[in-house]
Structures are given as structure tokens and as C-alpha cells.
Amino acid sequence: MSPALRTQAFAGHLRIEAARRPDGRTALARQSVRAPFHLSKPYWDGSVLQMRVINATAGILAGDRLELAARVGPGAALLVITPSATRAYMMRRGAAGCRQAFSVAAGGWLECAPEPLFPHHDTDYEQATRLDVDAGGGAYFVESLAPGRTGKGESWAWRRMRLTLEVALDGMLLLRERFDGSGAELGALSAFYGMREAWFATVVAVLPPPAEDEGIGSGVRALERPGLWIGATRLGPGCWVVRVAAPGALSLRDTLAALRDVFSSALPRLRSNLRQV
């Protein structure tokens, strides 16, 4: 659907709950979907239930209010991915927003790795994400941001972007962060570090016991290259946050794939083949 053909804003939602079946497989126990979200047929790969979330329209426009909520029950394993980038289009008036809530029960596993968010010229967009993991649960969450439509020569042109992220482990808040600024402001910061079109990503990894995180820090640092900035912080036992600033889209893609390999030594479910989704 072309953005020009949109006549009204969406108040859409996707709410799902993954549960472990008696045979050990994971299935969707509950689901509720309202446009513009579309849920593809889930696929059990022998380790996790792989699922694609699709925006059935061209992208996000002014006035859209979206909600994405996923809960993983005890012993269940779920992978949530998007087949393409999310685009937030020009908004001459008003703004758009999306609230995301992910929760993982003890013994459960969630990987959420959507493609980057592309903010277009004059976008005003807010996205709030909350990740709650019970003791004994595991998660791998990726959030990434493009500088804009670089192929069209449009970088750092959005009006305002508000991105918040909270991570709690067994009810204890470990991370709360907020970015609120214009494209021009983030572009100036990128230029200060010598990056004309920086692509940003945050990766949060929660390792369930008895997984060990020895060697993860050194493995992450080994990925850093000239022009590629990577920083890793251990928030607590088995809980990591990694920041990436890459000089281009391909560099970001390759770096995120390499980070997934680093963490897969402690999180075997990260070895799932994403190409099968």
C-alpha cells in the first residue's frame, strides 16, 4: 500500500503468547492481531518457534498508534523477526508511536531481532520498549536505527525521534535509557566521531543459568575495527548490553551477525538458521 493512499491512522496491535507443548515443541497459545500487523505462519525448527511479524502497509504514518506484546511461557522458545526494515514516513503534522512489551518466564527463551528502523524526512516518532525476564529465563534483543534513506541522499532528516528501552531481570530494573532528539543533533554527534552515516544498534543478552559468560567481553571487543565502534557492558551476572556504531548498512549487518555468533557459545538457541524464517 502506497503511503499516499492511506486515508486514516491505524490503532493496531499484535499480542502473542508462546507455550511449551507436552511433546517439547513451542506453539502459539494465544494471538490477537489488528492491522497493520500481519503474522506469518510460525515455523518450528527443532529448537525455537520462528515467527515473522509484518507491517502489511508501506510503513508508519502520522497518527499511527501501534502495540506489540509477546510473552514466552515456561520452557517455550520463540524467535521474532521482521522480513524487512520498518519505515517511518514524513509526518507534516502529528506524530506516531509504538509500544513494545516482551516478557520471558523461567525456563523460557526469546530472541527478538527486527530489521532497522528507517526514519524518513520530517518524521516524528516515539517507540517505547520493555523487556522483562524472570529468573531462569533467557533473551536476546536487538534494536537498530538507520540514519535515514542514505540511498536517496537523505540522512539525519527526521524532525524528532524518541526511543526508550527498559530491561528488568526477575523484577529488578537493570537498564533504563532514552534518546530524544532530532536527526540533525544525532548527525552532528556522528560527524564528531568521524562517521558521515553512522548506523546504530543496541543488543541486550540475558543468559539463563547454567550458561557462562566468560569470554564474551573479549569476544565482543575482538570485533572492533577502524571506523567501527563497539562497546560491551556487563549489567549483572549473565546480563550484557552491547552498543554498535557502524559506518554503513552492510557493516552493521555483518557486525550483528558476528555478535550473534559470539553469544551463541553461551546461548545455543542463537544457532538457529534465520534464513529458514
Residue by residue, what is the 3-state secondary structure of the chain?
CCHHHCCCCCEEEEEEEEEECCCCCEEEEEEEEECCEEECCCEECCCCEEEEEEECCCCECCCCEEEEEEEECCCCEEEEECCCCEEECCCCCCCEEEEEEEEECCCCEEEECCCCEEECCCCEEEEEEEEEECCCCEEEEEEEECCEEHHHCEECCCCEEEEEEEEEECCEEEEEEEEEECHHHHHHHHHHCCCCCCEEEEEEEECCCCCCCCCHHHHHHCCCECCEEEEEEEEECCEEEEEEEECCHHHHHHHHHHHHHHHHCCCHHHHCCHHHC
- Residue 167: give the domain boundaries: 9-193+207-214
**How does pLDDT run across 114-166, given as a tens digit for each residue?**
999 999 999 999 999 999 999 999 999 999 999 999 888 899 999 999 999 99
Q: Is 179 helix (H, G, I), strand (E, B) or coil?
A: strand
- Is-contact 12 34, C-beta < 8 A? yes
| Residue 119 is assigned to a structural domain of this protein | yes
**How does pLDDT run across 52-63, given as a tens digit for each residue?**
998 878 799 999
pTM of the full structure: 0.94
The dihedral through the CA atoms of 229, 144, 265, 216 has a sign that is positive
| Residue 88 is assigned to a structural domain of this protein | yes
| Residue 160 is assigned to a structural domain of this protein | yes
| Residue 94 is assigned to a structural domain of this protein | yes
| Residue 49 is assigned to a structural domain of this protein | yes
**How does pLDDT run across 29-80, given as a tens digit for each residue?**
999 999 999 998 899 999 999 999 988 787 999 999 999 999 999 999 999 9
| Residue 219 is assigned to a structural domain of this protein | no
| Closest to 66 measured CA to CA, from 144, 4, 7, 125 | 125
Question: Domain total for the chain?
Answer: 1
Contacts of 172 (CB under 8 A, 6+ apart): none
- What confidence score (pLDDT) does residue 159 get? 97
| Residue 257 is assigned to a structural domain of this protein | no
| Residue 76 is assigned to a structural domain of this protein | yes
Can you read off the three cell numbers belonging to residue 13? 496491535
